[in-house]
Amino acid sequence: MMTNGVVHANIFGIKDWVTPYKIAVLALLHEMSTTKPMALLDRRRLNKLILPLQQGPDLTLEQFLKIVEECCLRMVNAVKHRYASSLNKELFFKKNFILKTPEPLITFSLFLGLFMRQMLLAYNKLSFSQVYKLYKSLQQYCHRVQPELSALPTEDMELTSNEDPSAESDESQGPLSQKQAEYFLARQAYLLKNDENKAMSPAKLQDELNNILKFNPDFAEAHYLSYLNSIRVQDIYISTHSLLHYFDRLILSGGEGKSNGDEGYGRSLRYAVLNLATLHCRFGHYQQADLALQEAIRIAQEANDHVCLQHCLSWLYTLEQMKGSDSVVLTEDSVKIAAHFCLPYLASLGIQSLVQQGAKQGMPANKLLDALRGTDIMHWKQSLSELIEISLAQTTSIWRMYGKSTMARQQAQLLLNMNSLEPVNFSVQQNNTEAFAVALCHLAELHAEQGLYAVVSDIMKHLKQQFPPHTQHAKLWMLCDLKIQFEKAMNDGKYHLAEPHVTAISALNSTEGLYRKAQLLKALNQTTEASQILQQLQQQCEKSKDIEMTIRVMLASAELHWDSSGFATALPLLLQALALSRQHNLQSLTSETLLHLAFTQLMLGIPEQALVLVQDVLESVLAHGSLIDKGRALLLAARCQMALAGAAAQEHRLTALEQAVHTLDEAAVYFSQLDCKERMRDIHYLQARLHHTLGNISQRNKCSMLFRLLDQELPSSGMTVVSHL
C-alpha cells in the first residue's frame, strides 16, 4: 500500500490477527456461552476476567489456564478439552469450529461479538500456508506447557533446555498485536498523566516501548510515549529524539486522517515546533524555547491557523512569566482572542493566569474572586475538571495570601474531597496535578501554623509518595517542607538547625532563601550582615514587584531598627508597610504591621495608643493568625496593660494588673502549645514581676522558679525582654 509515494509496512491494514493465545480466549468464550448452569459468582468473575485477557499481551497456555483456574475451577477442564480438540487436524482445516459461536449469549454487535468477528475475519483472510503456520504454532503452544495434551516426540524440548537464558526470556515476551500495543500505550499514557506511581517504572516502560518499536518501527505513538517517559526522568537527549521522531512519523499519517491531506500535514508541523518549545520550557531552556515558539508562531501565521496561534500565545505569556517579566498585556490579548475563537479552555486558563498576576499586583479582591467565579460557572458547564481544580487551588492561595486561613482551609478541603469529573479509567483517579500539590502544601503550612506538626508530617508523607522527588511538582512540597522546618527551628530557638535549611531553601527559591538568611542573621545578632541582605532584597523585590516579600522585608528592617533602639526611625518604614498591605488586602500582614507599630509606640512611651491598636487587631489575629502571632499579640497587649497600670490610680491599678496577668496566661497557652521556650521564659518573668507587685507570693515564687528553670536550660540571649515583639 502506498500513501504519498511511500511504502507502508502495514500492508493489509490488519490491526489484529489470530494467534494461538487468541484461540484459547475464544475457547474460553465458547465454553462460557455454552455452559448454561453456572454459579453467578463464577460467571461474574469470568466476565470480569475477559477484558484484560482480550486486551493484554499474549500469555502462555500455562499462565492462561492458571488465571482461569483461579476464577472457576470447573471451567479449566472444559476449556482444556475444547482447546485440545481444536488441535485435531481435520477439524481445524475444515473450519475452526471455535471461531464460529453464534450463541445468543454473545451479541455480534457488542464488544465480544466484535472481537469474535474480527478473529473470524482475520482467520478467513489467511492463505493456506498461513493457516498451516497457525496450526503449527498452535501445536507448539500446547506442547510447550502440556506435553500430555498430545503425544508428540518432543524433539525441540531437548533444544530448549540447551538454550541460553537470554533467548528464553526473549521468547516469553512475544510481540504485541497492534490492538494490544495501542491498548498498552493508552493505559500507560493515562497512568503517566494521572497517577505516575501506578505506571510502569521508567526503565521498564522504555524496555517495553523498545520492544514494540522493534517489531513495528512505524508505530509512531510509541515514540510519543517514550518522549513522555524520558521527560519523567529528565532526559533531554532521548526526549528530544523521541519527540522529533514521533512528529516525523506523524507527518505522514496525519495527512491520512484529514480529508484535506495538506492541511493535516502542515498542522502537525506547527504543533511539532510548539511541542519542541514546551519541551525546552520544561527543561528551563528559555532562549531555546523562545526561538522555537517564534518559529511556531511564524508558521502558524503563514498558515492562518488561529487555533495554533492561540496556543502559541498562551505559551508565550507562560514563557514570559517564567522568565519573570510582565506579561499582563499578552495574557489579556490571549484571553480576548481565545474567547473570540471559542476556545474556552485557553480563555479561562488565561483568566486564571491574569487573576494570579492581578493578585500579586494588588487588584481588588472582589474583582479577582468575581473573575474566578465567572470562569468556574463555565468550567462546570463544560466539565473542564482540570480547570476547576486549578481554580480551587488558586482560590486557596488567594485566601491564604489575604490571610484568611479558614477560607483557605475550606477551599483546600473542597478540592481534596471533590470527585473528579473525568471518567475513572484503570481504577485511577487523577490526583497528581499541580493543583493538588499546591492545595496540600497550603494545608501543611496552615497546620504548621497551628502547631499540629504530626498532621504536617502526615501530609508531607503523602506528598512525598504522590509526587516523588524526581517529578515535576516535587519542588513545591520540598520548599514548603523546608519553610515549615525553618520556622519550627526558629521558634524553638535552635538556630544551628535552621542554618542548613536556609541553604536548601535558596537552592529552590533564591529570594525566599535570602529572606530566611536575613532572619537567621538577625536572630544571631549579626545585624550588619542582616541589614545588607535586607537592602539587597528590597531592591530585588522592587524589581520583581513582589509585594508580600517587600512588606516582610520592611518589617524585618524595622525590627533591625528596634535592635539599635531606633524606634522612631522604624516608624516611617512601618507606616509604609501598613499602607502597602492595606492597599493589597493582605490582612495577616496588616495585622502583623499593626502589632509592630503598637510595639514601637509602646517603646516610644505611648502605651494608650499602643493598646488601642493591639485591641483593634486582636480580633482578626485570634481568628486567622498563627499560634505564634496570637501569643505575640496577647503578650504585647499584656505589656501595654502593664505599662498603663503603672500610670493608673491605685484602685484601678490592681485590676489592671490582674487583667495583665490574665492576658499573659492566655498568651502562655499558645506559646506552650508551640513549645516556644524563649517566649515562655519572658512570660514567666513578667508574671513573676506582676505577682510580686500584686503580693501573691506563692504565685510569684512558682513563676520565678519556672523562669529559673527555663533560663538555665536556654542559652542566655543578648536581648532583654523589652526589645522584641
Partner 1 sequence: MAATRSSEFGDLVQIKKQLISITAQCKERGLVHSVKWASELAFSLDPLPLNEIPPAPELTEEDARDLDALCLAKSYFDLKEYDRAAYFLRGCRSQKAYFLYMYSRYLSGEKKKDDETVDSLGPLEKGQVRNEALRELRVELSKKHSAGELDGFALYLYGVVLRKLDLLKEAVEIFVAATHALPLHWGSWLELCNLITNIEMLKSLSLPECWVRDFFMAHMFTELQMIKEALQKYQSLMEAGFAKSTYIISQIAVAYHNIRDIDQALYLFNELREQDPFRIENMDTFSNLLYVRSMKPELSYLAHNLVEIDKYRVETCCVIGNYYSLRSQHEKAALYFQRALKLNPRCLGAWTLMGHEYMEMKNTSAAIQAYRHAIEVNKRDYRAWYGLGQTYEILKMPFYSLYYYRKAHQLRPNDSRMLVALGECYEKLSQQVEAKKCYWRAYSVGDVERMALLKLAKLHEQLNEFDDAAQCYIIYIQDIFSCGEQLEHAEVSTALRYLGQYYFKNKLYDEASLCAQRCCDYNDVSSSSAAHSQLRDANLSPFGKMLILSPKQVM
127 Cβ contact partners less than 8 Å away, ≥ 6 residues apart: none
Among 91, 108, 152, 217, binds partner 1 (CB under 8 A): 217
134 near partner 1, judged by CB under 8 A: yes
417 near partner 1, judged by CB under 8 A: no
The Cβ of residue 26 has, within 10 Å, a number of other Cβ atoms equal to 26
> Where are the alpha helices (H) located in 283-384, listed in sequence order?
286-303, 306-323, 328-340, 344-360, 365-382
In whole angstroms, the minimum distance from the beta carbon of 166 to partner 1 comes to 8
Among 59, 120, 291, 648, binds partner 1 (CB under 8 A): 291
178 near partner 1, judged by CB under 8 A: yes
Report the alpha-carbon distance of residue 63 to residue 432 in Å, rounded.
34
167 near partner 1, judged by CB under 8 A: yes
Among 14, 59, 416, 622, binds partner 1 (CB under 8 A): 14
Binding mask 298-327 toward partner 1 (x if CB under 8 A, else -) reads xx--x-------------------------
Please say whether the beta carbons of 621 and 637 come within 8 A: no
φ/ψ of residue 324, rounded to 5: 90, 15
In whole angstroms, the minimum distance from the beta carbon of 58 to partner 1 comes to 11
Report the alpha-carbon distance of residue 625 to residue 337 in Å, rounded.
42
| Subset of 681-720 contacting partner 1 (CB under 8 A) | none
297 near partner 1, judged by CB under 8 A: no
Q: Which is nearer to partner 1, 5 or 102 (CB)?
A: 5
In whole angstroms, the minimum distance from the beta carbon of 330 to partner 1 comes to 21
Cell of 425: 479509567
Among 71, 119, 199, 273, binds partner 1 (CB under 8 A): 273
Report the alpha-carbon distance of residue 689 to residue 695 in Å, rounded.
10
Report the alpha-carbon distance of residue 267 to residue 353 in Å, rounded.
27
Size of the site for partner 1 (CB under 8 A): 53
Return the percent helix, strand and coil in the chain, to nearest 5. Answer: 80, 0, 20
Among 177, 229, 239, 348, binds partner 1 (CB under 8 A): 177
Among 36, 89, 94, 214, binds partner 1 (CB under 8 A): 214
Binding piece for partner 1, criterion CB under 8 A, among 12-20, 45-53, 332-340, 391-399: 12-20
How many angstroms separate the Cα of 569 from the Cα of each of 201, 290, 536, 651? 60, 47, 19, 37
Tell me the three-class secondary structure of 446-488, residue by residue.
Answer: HHHHCCCHHHHHHHHHHHHHHCCCCCCCHHHHHHHHHHHHHHH
Please say whether the beta carbons of 678 and 718 come within 8 A: no
Among 215, 341, 380, 426, binds partner 1 (CB under 8 A): 215
Please tell me what DSSP assigns to residue 3. E
403, 409, 410, 411: CA torsion to nearest 10: 80
In whole angstroms, the minimum distance from the beta carbon of 185 to partner 1 comes to 14
181 near partner 1, judged by CB under 8 A: yes
In whole angstroms, the minimum distance from the beta carbon of 150 to partner 1 comes to 20
In whole angstroms, the minimum distance from the beta carbon of 212 to partner 1 comes to 9
Could you write out the DSSP letters of every residue in 184-242? HHHHHHHHHHH-GGGSPPHHHHHHHHHHHHHH-TT-HHHHHHHHHHHHHTT-HHHHHHH
In whole angstroms, the minimum distance from the beta carbon of 280 to partner 1 comes to 10
130 near partner 1, judged by CB under 8 A: yes
In whole angstroms, the minimum distance from the beta carbon of 162 to partner 1 comes to 5
Q: Which is nearer to partner 1, 167 or 377 (CB)?
A: 167
162 near partner 1, judged by CB under 8 A: yes
Please tell me what DSSP assigns to residue 2. E
Is 33 exposed, middle or buried (CB count within 10 Å of its CB: 0-12, 13-18, 19+)? Answer: middle
Q: Which is nearer to partner 1, 22 or 681 (CB)?
A: 22
Q: Which is nearer to partner 1, 249 or 681 (CB)?
A: 249
**Strand-pair category, 2-3 with 6-7:** antiparallel
244 near partner 1, judged by CB under 8 A: yes
Residues of the shown chain interacting with partner 1 in the complex, contacts defined by CB under 8 A: 4-7, 9-12, 14, 16-19, 126-127, 129-130, 133-134, 159, 162-163, 167, 175-178, 181, 214-217, 240, 244-245, 248-249, 251-252, 255, 265, 269, 272-273, 276, 288, 291-292, 294-295, 298-299, 302
